[in-house]
Amino acid sequence: MSDQDNALALHNQARAALGVAPLQWDNNLQAAAQSWANHLAQVNSLDHDPNASAGENIALFSPASDTILENATGLWLAEKTAYSYGIFDGSQVEAAGHYTQCVWANTTNVGIAAATSSSGTEFVVARYLPQGQRPQQGFEGIFLVNATNSSGGQKCGVGWYRNALQAEGQSPDPPLEAAGVGRDWIPWEGNEQSVTFADGNVFAWNINANAQSEPDYTMVGTSHNNFRNFDVYKDNKRILYSQNGWDYRTIYYCK
C-alpha cells in the first residue's frame, strides 16, 4: 500500500472503532493541502491557513520520510489520550483537536499532502470536508438523567445536546419529554434498554450492573443511536438544569 493509502486506512480504523463511517480520499482537498504545504515549506514555519474553507490538520517532521502521511496521521490520532470525559473546555479541544477532526462523524472527505523545506523539514497538511470540530462548536452529548421535585416525585429520561459545552443550565434539544421523561423510575444499569425520540431516532444503552460503584467519569458501558456508537461514562449526579420545580441530575454521559 502507498503512504496515502496507509494514512487513509489509519483514519478509517480510528473511525471504525467509534462506529462512524469511513472517509473517502478527495483529490481536490489533496490539491488544496498541497498548495498550503508548499507555502509552509517555503516559509519554513508551521501555521494554519487562515483562509482555509475546510477542516485542517498540520504537522512537521525532520528528517523527511517515505511514510510521512502515515506518520502525521498517527501523530494526530495519538491525541485521543488527551480527549477525556469530564473536561469540556477549550483547553481539551486544543489538546485533542487534531484527533477529533480525524474522527468527526459528519466529515466524509479527506486529502493529505506534504512538502519539504530547504532545511529538510517536511510539512504535512490534511484538509477535511465537511469541516469537523472547532472549540466554539462543542461536542455532541447525550445525558441519562434522573429528576426529582420537592414533593418526592421521580422521573427519568434521555437528553440529547447538540453542544455539550453548553449543557449546564440548559434543557436539551429536543426536550427530555420527547425522549422518555415521565417514564416509570427505572434503573439505568443492566440489560440493554432504549427510548425513541419524537423524530423516530432510537437511542439504546447497556450499562454495567455495578456502574454506580465505579469512580466518576469511568467508562461503564456502551450505547448507540441510528447514526453512531457512544461510550457511556458515570457522571457525578450534578444538577444539569432545573425546570418547573424539577431538578435534573446527570447520572451517565454518552459520547
Set of cell numbers at residue 178? 420527547
The pTM of the whole model exceeds 0.75: no
- Cα gap 139→105, rounded to integer Å: 11
**pLDDT at position 169:** 67
- 21 pLDDT band (50/70/90 cuts)? confident
Summarised one tens digit per residue, pLDDT across range 35-81 is 999 999 999 999 999 889 899 999 999 988 899 999 999 999 999 88
pLDDT at 6 over 90: yes
Among 153, 103, 159, smallest CA distance to 128 is for 103
Taking a C-beta distance cutoff of 8 angstroms, is the pair 98, 14 a contact? no
Longest dimension (CA), the chain: 74
Domain limits of the chain? Answer: 3-129, 141-254
CATH 3.40.50.620: does it fit domain 3-129? no
